[in-house]
Every structure is written in structure tokens, then in C-alpha cells.
A and B are shown apart, each in its own frame.
Chain A
Amino acid sequence: MNSEAIVKETRAYHCLECGVCTSSCPVARVNPSFSPRLLVEKALFGFGDEIVRDRDLWSCLVCGRCTSRCPSNVDYLNFIKEMRIEASKLGEKGLFSHDGVMNTIMELQLTNLQQKRTFWIADDLEVADEGECFYFVGCLPYFDLVFGEGGYCDVGLKPTERARNTVRILNKMGIKPVVSNDERCCGHDLLWNGDLEGFRRLAELNLKTIKKSGARKVICLCPEGYVTLKRDYPLYLGEQDLEVVQLYQLLADKLKEGKLNFVENGSNNPVKVTFHDPCSLGRMAEIYEEPREILSAIPGIELVEMERNRADALCCGTSGWVNCSSCSKQIQTERLKEAEATGADILLTACPKCGIHLSCAKYNSDIKIEIKDITDLIVEKMV
């Protein structure tokens, strides 16, 4: 798509130059030279060639705050995505963090190498090779080996514990999910970093694996995986005969049906928790209330909201493992301080990546708040 087509496709010509996007943008707040409004304007005035060469194109976190607030309904997220796709055709790319290890891991999943990604399955978990429900694990096994304990960028996490948690919870709900060594990265990061072909190929391979297992339903914990399977697979590969659900949607239903139950609380001193809405779960998927419904059903905890919550939530500061900068650290630190200001003991995340980014920023700081995943609490308290 040339820049003129992108302007049309994303309704950028509706832009009023109001600057709401720039004033909503977390990057622009800490780096005043970054201006989403200016990027749109450049495209409008026919300077698309400049945008695709601009380093700033890769500074956007694709957090979606601008898109959700634009009074003119400009589809800013897709504007960035399409521009990046054009830019990568010219060989441009963002600056990869961790020497680009995550990107290479994604690209290696485009090959026919036989992965052993299910190493995390513990003895107490019930999984299947074939069945009705497919648990799409996503990159957790690789996060474990890069960011987990002993990994190259150890941020003191156990990412695959979230995968075990998910299976434990599903087993409790009577679901024995399919888990497969043939699953690939969902392709989210390749797509948003402009590698449309790589994304397509990963999507095709995943759909083949899911369908081969006989599954009609896919369950995702990772919100990015959820959005990608639910929204982008049909968008780029046509409608699929698959129901894609996010774990918290499923659990909110189970809660209403009385099938998700928690231990009675012994103490009357509740633990205060606050919840960080991931961009992909919130603004992209509009799943705001389900995690909160589950949390309020767990006895012994009290949910206190951060000032910016739900659609106003602040991004965790990095996306797609590119352009992690001093801006990212500032955004993350700001978010952690916001969480501490609520008086909460625990900051809950619902996205493994947010967990990694926020833990990284917490490292070497005097911020004390504990970071946990919602599934950690559910597994602790469910009966």
C-alpha cells in the first residue's frame, strides 16, 4: 500500500490536527520530539517517503490510546502498521532489544524444525493431543528461557508457571486442553514490526496445527495471542471456523455458572491488589470487566484501581521487543509508581510481556510492589 492508500484506508484524511493523539501518547509525554499528530500530517501532505525512513515510526508502542481517543476516528494503529509494512519492504526496522534474540526465535519458528516447546508440562497437568479445546500457549516457553530464572535476561520470573496455571485452571473447569509441540509464535510481533509475510506463514502453520488437533475452540491466556488469533487471522487469512476465547472471558462465565469457586477467607485483613490493564486485553479486545469480576470473587483480596485504568491505562512501555529506550523505562517507572500510590501490595498483570517489562523496570529500583499474574492468585485460591 502506498502512503496515499494508507491515508485513505485509515481515514487519516479526517484528521483535524487537534493533537489529542499526541497529548494522549505515553511516548510523546516523555519524548516531546515524538509527535503522532505530525506523522499523520506528514502523510497527508504527501511526505510518506519520509515517514517510512523515520526512526520515530518504530517508537510507537502501538498501545492504541490515540486511536481510542481520536475525535475523527482516525485508525492510527493501522496507520502505523501499514507504514511499517512499507518501511520493512525498504529494509527498515526497529532497534531490537536483547541483541534481537526474540525476533530470531520467532523467525526460527517459520522453519520445519521440530520444537520441544511443551517441556513445561508438569505431572499433575492433564493435556491431550486431540480434542475440542486447544490451549494456545504462545511464547511462554521461550520467555522462560530468556527472561526466566537463569536466563540471559533474568528478571526473576517464571513465565511458564502461567502456562501451568492455565492448564490447572482449565483442568479444574473440566477441560483437558490440547497442547502441541507444533504450535508456533502467533505472529503478533512480526506483523506489528512490518513483516507481513512472516506473520502470514506463522498464522497458516498455527491454523494447520489447531485444525489437525480437531479443536473448534482456542483458549488464550496471552492477550496479544488472543487479539491476533481472534482479529488478525481472519483479517489476513479469511474467516476460520474457530471460536477464540480469552481465559478471563471463559472464567467470568464459569463464575456466573457457579463452576469457579474459591476458598473461604479466614482473615479479615484483605490483601490489597491493583490491576494493570494490558493494551491488548483492554483497548484492543475491550476485556475490562472480566478480570475484575474474577478478582472481586476471590475472598481476602481488595482491588484498588490506579488512577489510569481500563481504556485510560498506561502502556507497559515496550512492544514487539523493539525500541526499548529510556522512554520505555520512564513509562514503566511511572506505571509502577502509580501502582504503589494506590497502597496496593501486589500489582497484577494479565499479559506475560507486561509482567516482563514491569519486572525489568523494577529491577535496580527502590520500588517494592510485588508483581504477579492474575492466574497466580486464581490457582492459589481456587477450590
Chain B
Amino acid sequence: MSEEFEPNIVGFACNWCSYAGADLAGTSRMKYPPNIRIIRVMCSGRVSPAFILKAFQMGADGVLVTGCHPGDCHYIAGNLKCEKTMGTTRKLIDVLGIGEERLRLEWVSASEGSKFADVVTDFTNRIRGLGPLSGKSQG
């Protein structure tokens, strides 16, 4: 009997929009896969490439970064900084052999509980399709 692969997803969510969006999805009892582990950051702009690489190194198969919609960032432009950072991080994980499709950036507002659930469902399915990240950290 072959067991279906269940990916580990690490999610970074900003305190002011996306984390509240995730919370809304939860309190509204919306259904989404339990594969994601959410890490709250004050702003998506705080997510450095180092966090993402560390997540993959420690066993994540996919990383989802969520922040406020452009124009709505609590710190004005942290999400724009994040978008720029994610651009080079995508390239970085591709060159490292992790594959850029394992990183996703989405804007989720505090009222978009259903969007959060949809994004997590879709991303989890995609990563499930990609299979486990081979060559995980040895030790």
C-alpha cells in the first residue's frame, strides 16, 4: 500500500493583514490542508532569503510568504521590499537546486480568510504534486 506524500509547508504571514486573514479562515471554520505551519512576522518585508533557505534546509517542501496588498502595508512599503527580495530568492533557490516553484508569494488581507484557505489548498496540492524535496539536510 503506497502512502500519499504529505508535504511540509512553512508559511510566513505578516502580523497586520495575512496573519489576521489566516485567523479569519480558522475562526470561520474554512477547510484547508493542515500541512502548513505558520510563522508570524511583523511585516513580510522582514522575511529574508535566509529564513526561506533555512526552512528548506530544515525540511520544508514548500514555503509560502504572505503579506498585505500593495499600498496596505502597515510599514508603508515592506511588502514591496518583500516582492523584490522574493525575486532574487526565487533565483537563489533555483540555482541551489531547490526549484523556484517551491516558493510562493501572495497578498492576503485581514478580510480575505477564504483567499488564504484557497491559496494554502492550491499551494499544498502543487507541492504534493512536485513530491518531496530531495536531498534534504543531512544532519
A111 and B137 form a contact (CB under 8 A): yes
Interface size (B, Cβ < 8 Å)? 26
Q: Contact partner of B88 among A109, A110, A151, CB < 8 A?
A: A151
What are 23 A-to-B residue pairs whose CB atoms are below 8 Å?
A98-B48, A99-B48, A99-B49, A99-B51, A101-B48, A104-B53, A105-B92, A105-B96, A107-B57, A108-B53, A108-B98, A110-B137, A111-B138, A113-B133, A114-B97, A116-B97, A119-B95, A141-B95, A145-B88, A145-B92, A145-B95, A146-B88, A152-B49
Please give, as numbers and ranges, the residues of chain B lying within 8 Å of A113 by CB-CB distance: 96-98, 133-135
Interface status of A31 (Cβ within 8 A of chain B)? no
Query: Nearest Cβ in chain B — how far from A118, in angstroms?
Result: 9
Interface size (A, Cβ < 8 Å)? 25
Please give, as numbers and ranges, the residues of chain A lying within 8 Å of B92 by CB-CB distance: 105, 142, 145-146
Query: Nearest Cβ in chain B — how far from A142, in angstroms?
Result: 7
What is the number of contacts between chain A and chain B, taking CB atoms within 8 Å? Answer: 70
Please give, as numbers and ranges, the residues of chain A lying within 8 Å of B88 by CB-CB distance: 145-146, 150-152
Interface status of B66 (Cβ within 8 A of chain A)? no
Binding site for B on A (CB under 8 A): 98-101, 104-105, 107-117, 119, 141-142, 145-146, 150-152
Please give, as numbers and ranges, the residues of chain B lying within 8 Å of A111 by CB-CB distance: 135-138
CA distance A339 to B107 in the complex (A): 47
Q: Which residue of B lies closest to A113 (CB)?
A: B97
Please give, as numbers and ranges, the residues of chain A lying within 8 Å of B85 by CB-CB distance: 152
CA distance A40 to B40 in the complex (A): 45
Please give, as numbers and ranges, the residues of chain A lying within 8 Å of B97 by CB-CB distance: 113-116
Q: 4 extra interchain contacts, Cβ-Cβ under 8 A, other than A113-B134, A114-B97, A145-B95?
A: A99-B50, A100-B54, A108-B53, A113-B96
CA distance A117 to B136 in the complex (A): 18
CA distance A213 to B42 in the complex (A): 48
Please give, as numbers and ranges, the residues of chain A lying within 8 Å of B48 by CB-CB distance: 98-99, 101, 152
Query: Nearest Cβ in chain A — how far from B92, in angstroms?
Result: 5
Top 10 closest A-B pairs, CB basis? A113-B97, A99-B50, A101-B50, A112-B135, A111-B135, A113-B135, A104-B53, A114-B97, A99-B48, A145-B92
A101 and B94 form a contact (CB under 8 A): no
Binding site for A on B (CB under 8 A): 48-51, 53-54, 56-57, 84-85, 87-89, 91-92, 94-98, 133-138
A104 and B94 form a contact (CB under 8 A): no
B134 and A145 form a contact (CB under 8 A): no
CA distance A74 to B85 in the complex (A): 45
Q: Which residue of A lies closest to B85 (CB)?
A: A152
CA distance A150 to B135 in the complex (A): 28
Q: Which residue of B lies closest to A145 (CB)?
A: B92
Query: Nearest Cβ in chain A — how far from B138, in angstroms?
Result: 6
CA distance A119 to B91 in the complex (A): 10
Q: Which residue of A lies closest to B54 (CB)?
A: A104
Q: Contact partner of B84 among A101, A107, A116, A150, CB < 8 A?
A: A150
B57 and A108 form a contact (CB under 8 A): yes
Q: Which residue of A lies closest to B81 (CB)?
A: A152
Q: Which residue of B lies closest to A96 (CB)?
A: B50
Q: Which residue of B lies closest to A118 (CB)?
A: B95
Please give, as numbers and ranges, the residues of chain B lying within 8 Å of A150 by CB-CB distance: 84, 87-88
Please give, as numbers and ranges, the residues of chain A lying within 8 Å of B54 by CB-CB distance: 100, 104
Please give, as numbers and ranges, the residues of chain A lying within 8 Å of B94 by CB-CB distance: 116
